[in-house]
Amino acid sequence: MKTESTHQPTPRDFSALRNTLLKLTATHKIICTVVVVVVALVWYYLLQRVVAFGHTVDYTGLEVLGGPTIEFLNRYNPYFWWALVALCTLIIAYFLINFVRAGRKRVNAQVVTTNTMQALVAQLSEPAKDVLRWVWDNPREPITVGDLQQTSRELRNGRAQKIATSREHVQLLGSSPVDAP
């Protein structure tokens, strides 16, 4: 039987995957960070302006509604404006989250170039290559950034050992694994 250490990825595998993924996703991360920070700063400025405007609103011109209604409006005026700010904040956060998710989805679908793959594969150990093969479920399609990200996750979760154990089980049974429908 093989020794336990031959089934384990090396620290170099993790480093190579991390560095490759950083190179492939750095632009997206920088753009998303800049957009989120700029939108947050602009919204903070506008938030202050909206609340300041709310303090200047005078409801005395609505005397047709009656004294109790005007008193109610004046008493709860700050809460109305803060509720508007909270609602707008939620809407802005929703759009920012969708912007980041769409960008991430686009990056995950990006095909890894052959040169990048050659450099990465040259650094990976055999267990790490096995995990990459396992993640890459359709060899008719090129490897994507998402495949590399999933490979990194699977390596951290012990997939290399599971693949090796599966191979040992196949050898013990003396047959090839059957694909499930």
Between 180 and 21, whose confidence is greater?
Answer: 21
Between 75 and 64, whose confidence is greater?
Answer: 75
User: How far, in Å, are 72, 114, 119 from residue 141 at the CA level?
Assistant: 65, 13, 19
Per residue in 137-164, pLDDT (tens digit) is 888 999 999 999 999 999 988 888 888 8
Q: CA triplet 111, 23, 28: central angle to 5 degrees?
A: 75
Query: Which long-range CB contacts under 8 A does 90-98 form with residues at least 24 apart?
Result: 92/39, 92/43, 96/35, 96/36, 96/39
Angle between helices 126-135 and 11-56 (to 10 degrees): 50
Mean pLDDT of 50-60: 78
* Least confident piece of the model among 5-14, 15-24, 118-127: 5-14
pLDDT at 91: 96
Per residue in 68-109, pLDDT (tens digit) is 777 777 777 778 889 999 999 999 999 999 999 999 999 999
Q: CA triplet 12, 15, 16: central angle to 5 degrees?
A: 85
CA dist 143 and 132 (Å) reads: 9
pLDDT at 168: 86
Of residues 113, 132, 140, 155, the one with CA closest to residue 24: 113
Q: 144: which DSSP letter?
A: B
Where in the chain are the domains? 11-110, 111-166
